[in-house]
């Protein structure tokens, strides 16, 4: 008798686990719908413009004052993320259209990590220390799986961590980095 009710209790708990687990999976799937519709991973928000991003984040976005003629203004995308720390990514295509040629990633002041999924994966095959104004930084040559070879420079400015990735010459990248306002 006791084992029969024990078995029944087991079935009750199993049914609840199954239903709760199934519900959790469905909810998580439903929650990814906005991301799927927008083509952005979970936690990444696309903004209509730099001004809209500044309004949403409540801070000014640093952008290069030196802007090579080969790049097209306005940015092709302005995206922000919040985890592990808030940050922003601004991308530019070339004048001829097509693929992205300049990426500017920045954390908010005092931020130390870029938001997950905001910075595309890249493997570095060469790195040297450099000086960007008063700040020490690292210059790297990287290969992005989808976009090809880029040069990038990582440094801190106004308390923010900055990463600029550029498909162009190293000299131009240094000028872009030095002109960040």
Question: What does the binding site for other proteins look like in residue numbers (CB under 8 A)?
Answer: 5, 8-9, 12-13, 15-17, 19-20, 23-24, 27-28, 30-32, 34-35, 37-38, 40, 42-43, 45-46, 82-84, 86, 116
Smallest gap from Cβ 83 to other proteins, in A, equals 4
Which of 93-112 are b and which e, b meaning 16 or more Cβ less than 10 Å from the residue's Cβ? bbeeeeebbbbbbbbbeebe
Cβ at position 91, least distance to other proteins in Å: 18
In whole angstroms, how close is the CB of 9 to other proteins at the nearest point? Answer: 6
Residue 5 CB, shortest distance to other proteins, in Å, is 7
Burial of 146 (0-12, 13-18, 19+ CB in 10 A): exposed
> 28 vs 181, which CB is nearer to other proteins?
28
Is residue 101 within 8 Å of residue 75, measured between CB atoms? no
Of the pair 113, 121, the CB lying nearest other proteins is at 113
Neighbours of 12 (CB within 10 A): 10
């Amino acid at each position: 008798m006791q084992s029969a009710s024990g078995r029944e209790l087991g079935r009750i708990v199993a049914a609840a686990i199954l239903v709760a687990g199934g519900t959790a999976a469905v909810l998580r799937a439903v929650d990814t719908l906005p991301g799927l519709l927008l083509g952005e991973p979970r936690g990444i928000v696309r903004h209509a413009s730099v001004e809209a991003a500044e309004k949403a984040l409540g801070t000014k976005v640093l952008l290069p004052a030196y802007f090579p003629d080969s790049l097209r203004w306005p940015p092709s995308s302005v995206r922000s993320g919040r985890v592990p720390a808030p940050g922003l990514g601004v991308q530019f295509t070339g004048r001829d259209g097509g693929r992205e040629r300049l990426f500017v990633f920045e954390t908010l002041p005092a931020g130390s990590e870029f938001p997950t999924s905001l910075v595309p994966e890249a493997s570095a095959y060469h790195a040297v220390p450099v000086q960007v104004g008063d700040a020490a930084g690292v210059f790297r040559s990287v290969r992005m799986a989808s976009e090809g070879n880029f040069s990038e420079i990582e440094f801190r400015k106004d308390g923010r961590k900055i990463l600029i990735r550029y498909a162009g010459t190293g000299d131009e990248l240094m000028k872009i980095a030095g002109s960040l306002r």
